[in-house]
Amino acid sequence: MLEAIVKKGWRYLYIETRGTAVAEVDLEMKPCKLMSYGETIGREYCSIEIITERFPEIKDIKEVEEFSINISTKSFPRAVTVDLSDGVVTYLQDAFWKWESGWEKDPEKLSKAKEVYGVAKWLLEDKKLKLHENFSIERYREICKTAPLT
């Protein structure tokens, strides 16, 4: 998905990643600090701060709980936010989402709405991601039908 975003001419920024992975770290003669945060919700959490020249090699990804990114267009560093682990679009930029009648006469507003629409359409219609429950799919369809975005 990330490669496809770049091929579309957009950029992405990791905003939230959480999961469990296995990495191999050589601690011999390396300064490190181990901090334990105790038990939370039946799991014991700890954090290890390792000072190395490069990030340890990930051997296996056990679980991805969240993998959220912002997708940027020419005009918007945050045109759309999506949680790829759940396949949910969690944010659509207001230039599209708050479309109002009459904006079609303003070339700048129309252009910006089309930018966001291109990302939203690709994610929701082509890639079949869902729209977060805070957003109405009916509103999305209404905007697509009434605004001259294609």
Q: How many domains does the chain have?
A: 1
* Phi (first) and psi of residue 49, to 5 degrees: -100, 115
| Cα dihedral: 85, 16, 121, 102 (round 10) | 150
Evaluated on CA atoms 107, 113, 116, 122, the torsion sign reads: negative
**What is the distance between the alpha carbons of residues 133 and 100, in angstroms, rounded to a whole number?**
22
Could you give the 3-state DSSP secondary structure of residue 88? strand
Q: Is residue 34 included in any domain, yes or no?
A: no
pLDDT, residue 34, reads 54
Which residue range forms the structural domain that includes residue 137?
2-19+63-146
Q: Is residue 96 included in any domain, yes or no?
A: yes
pLDDT, residue 59, reads 87
Q: Is residue 101 included in any domain, yes or no?
A: yes
Q: Is residue 95 included in any domain, yes or no?
A: yes
Q: Could you read off the pLDDT tens digit of each residue along the chain, which spans 150 residues?
A: 999 999 999 999 999 888 888 877 776 766 666 555 555 555 556 566 666 666 677 888 888 888 999 999 999 999 999 999 999 999 999 999 999 989 899 999 999 999 999 999 999 999 999 999 999 999 999 999 888 887
